[in-house]
Amino acid sequence: MSRNGVRRPDADPIRKARFRQAAREIVAKDRHDRKQGLPADTAGAVARATERAYRQGFADAQGGSPMPAAGDVQPGDAIDWALIPPRPRTAFWTICLFILGKGERTDGAGHLLPATTERGTAGWRLLLPSGNFAKKPLGENTIVPLVRLGLLQLADDGPERLLLSARGRATWWRFLERGGQYPEELTLV
């Protein structure tokens, strides 16, 4: 509690991810409307989003629902789907769909191998369990956040390759248990 007795909400990474997603949608709508020559009420959209954020923060402060500390999460624990940034989330969805599937749990024999993208930058190509390669390599900047979040990991043995980690598998299965719809709506609370 602060000096005046009002509680301040604890940091909530899921709330922050939802706010970022709302901001992305406001910016995207503004760009689209301006490109099409339509009137844009960006200031109004920002005001409405700010008001929703204020109300959510106030409610969280009054309710006192603490988030687990970052150190409380174990390496094999699933992370919330909303915590994966948008572009890496799309790549992760593709990787998991082709390696693990949506039905019965599989051993997920596929992996990622170093490759060069069409633009000539470093990337990773998805090798499917069937032995075929995915059409386009994924850029390094798309994959790095997935490694940083512990969803992908370098293989310990043999040539350089990335595998789905225990956390990555757990995150995918939790996503499917919750409905597994893509693209999902992250801004609804």
Asked if the structure places residue 140 within a domain, the reply is yes
In a domain? residue 35: yes
Is the same domain home to 118 and 168? yes
Helix/strand/coil for 122:
strand
Instruction: Over range 181-189, report the average pLDDT.
Output: 55
Question: Does the structure show a pLDDT above 70 at 2?
Answer: no
124 belongs to a structural domain: yes
**pLDDT tens string 150-167:** 999 988 876 788 989 999
Residues 63 and 85 in one domain: no
Over pLDDT 70: what percentage of the chain? 75
Find which of 102-106, 122-126, 185-189 is predicted with most confidence, using mean pLDDT: 122-126
What's the pLDDT tens digit per position in 63-117?
655 444 444 445 568 888 888 888 899 999 989 988 888 876 666 678 888 998 8
pLDDT per position as a tens digit, 6-48 = 655 566 666 777 777 777 778 888 888 888 888 888 888 888 8
Q: Are residues 145 and 63 in the same domain?
A: no
pLDDT of residue 7: 59
Containing domain of residue 36, as a range?
Answer: 13-67
**In a 10 Å sphere around its CB, with 0-12 CB exposed, 13-18 middle and 19+ buried, how is residue 177 labelled?**
exposed
Give the mean pLDDT of 127-143.
84
Residue with token string 């979040």: 149
Q: Which residues contact 26 (CB under 8 A, 6 or more apart)?
A: 42, 45, 46, 49
Cis peptide before 13 (omega within 30 of 0): no
- Both 104 and 133 in a single domain? yes
Q: Radius of gyration over alpha carbons of the chain, in Å?
A: 20
Residues 147 and 101 in one domain: yes
pTM for the predicted model, two decimal places = 0.63
Q: How many domains does the chain have?
A: 2
